[in-house]
Amino acid sequence: MSNNQVPETMLNNDAILYSTEMNKDNLDRNVQNNSNDYLVQVKNLKKYFPAGLKGTTRQYVKAVDDVSFNIPKGTTMGLVGESGCGKTTVGRTMLRLYSMTGGEVYFDGQNINKLSRSALRKLRPRMQMIFQDPYSSLSPRMPVGEIIGEAVREHNIVPKAELNEYVAKAMNDCGLPYQYARRYPHEFSGGQRQRICIARAVALQPDFIVCDEPVSALDVSIQAQIINLLQDLQNEFGYTYLFISHDLSVVEYISDTIGVMYLGSMVEFGDKKKLFAKPMHPYTQALLSAVPVPDPDFEMQRVILEGDIPSPVNPPSGCKFRTRCQYATEECAKSCPKFIEYESQHEVACFLYPQE
């Protein structure tokens, strides 16, 4: 998936695996990669958190281990996986809210890990985040107008005199009447709070928004309102989203490309349609089959995964999924499968497929 590796492997092995036509397609894509079509490029991102007491042998929780992907401008990438698989850490590390252990993140061509404090501060308004829980991510002591206007004032987005008007516009965009500007967060329902969170992010005129489980705390009917709002804003202002969620049906609905994570690594990445029509990795298959279907006549062909997700402190050797995978062989324990693109816009890391 990272641009440097994929074409090389492709060129070496095209005779064995790929028709010439497909290969050409990939080469075309590579040319595109080098242009500035990608707003965000993540290469081999790593984030380890230290665990255990100081003085003893230091262990690390490998929350994110070698994840790479690109997000083209104006599109939405979905990131799915079980809780604890590192989805949120990816989102936060990409914005440098956590310092990264390894790898590179390019935002609009700039390596954000190498930016100085002041340069990063200038970039901040362009990349925003909508946090997970609308109940705990709003300061209870600030009125809504202040919550939305604070960062706008801080970053001098508009002249001081126009601030109130600007906040009113941002609130209006997100479906909040301006009369609410003097109220406090506790006076709002969950859906409205999520709108405040969105207005806060949108007010800074960002290019890129990381939406960290924006709808998982909300009811179905309110969830639909928020998803529509996010899509309307994207159509109007051309935002790029990283949409983190564990709800596959929501991700399928909103995303253009989808990445599936398991225990800190990405196991499958692809175009939405390809990934849902032909999930290649056994974990993706299990995940898709576990989604409850709202139809009583539908016969579940669930692939039930045994056991729980292993601890990220001591992940299994080789392929991390092998402990729960029914197709696991001895090979899986020995080495890690490579992340290989088997058809355009569809990449998998699994030994079920040729590793060339």
**What are the residues binding other proteins (CB under 8 A)?**
16-19, 22, 82-83, 182, 189-192, 219-225, 227-228, 231, 246-250, 252-254, 276-280, 282, 285-298, 300-305, 308-309, 327, 342-343, 352-354
CB of 94 to other proteins, least distance (A): 23
Q: Toward other proteins, which CB reaches closer, 71 or 286?
A: 286
CB of 48 to other proteins, least distance (A): 22
CB of 155 to other proteins, least distance (A): 26
Residue 48 sits at φ, ψ, to 5 deg, of -110, 135
Contact indicator for 66, 45 with CB cutoff of 8 Å: yes
CB of 271 to other proteins, least distance (A): 13
CB of 98 to other proteins, least distance (A): 23
Distance separating alpha carbons of residues 57 and 51, to the nearest angstrom = 10
Residue 125 CA: distances (Å) to CA of 33, 157, 234: 25, 9, 17
Q: Toward other proteins, which CB reaches closer, 207 or 268?
A: 268
Q: Toward other proteins, which CB reaches closer, 149 or 282?
A: 282
Q: Toward other proteins, which CB reaches closer, 105 or 218?
A: 218
Residue 315 sits at φ, ψ, to 5 deg, of -65, 155
CB of 115 to other proteins, least distance (A): 36
CB of 101 to other proteins, least distance (A): 25
Q: Toward other proteins, which CB reaches closer, 259 or 279?
A: 279
DSSP state of 82: -
Q: Toward other proteins, which CB reaches closer, 123 or 288?
A: 288
Contact indicator for 167, 142 with CB cutoff of 8 Å: no
How many other C-beta atoms lie within 10 A of the C-beta of residue 117?
A: 7
Distance separating alpha carbons of residues 61 and 314, to the nearest angstrom = 8
Q: Toward other proteins, which CB reaches closer, 271 or 343?
A: 343
Q: Toward other proteins, which CB reaches closer, 41 or 255?
A: 255
How many other C-beta atoms lie within 10 A of the C-beta of residue 343?
A: 16
Q: Interior CA angle at 135 toward 130 and 137, to 5°?
A: 45
Distance separating alpha carbons of residues 87 and 259, to the nearest angstrom = 10
Task: Give every CB contact of residue 333 below 8 A, 6+ residues apart in sequence.
Answer: 316, 317, 318, 319, 322
CB of 356 to other proteins, least distance (A): 9
Beta strands in the chain (DSSP E): 38-51, 59-72, 76-80, 102-107, 110-111, 127-130, 208-212, 240-244, 257-262, 265-271, 340-343, 346-348
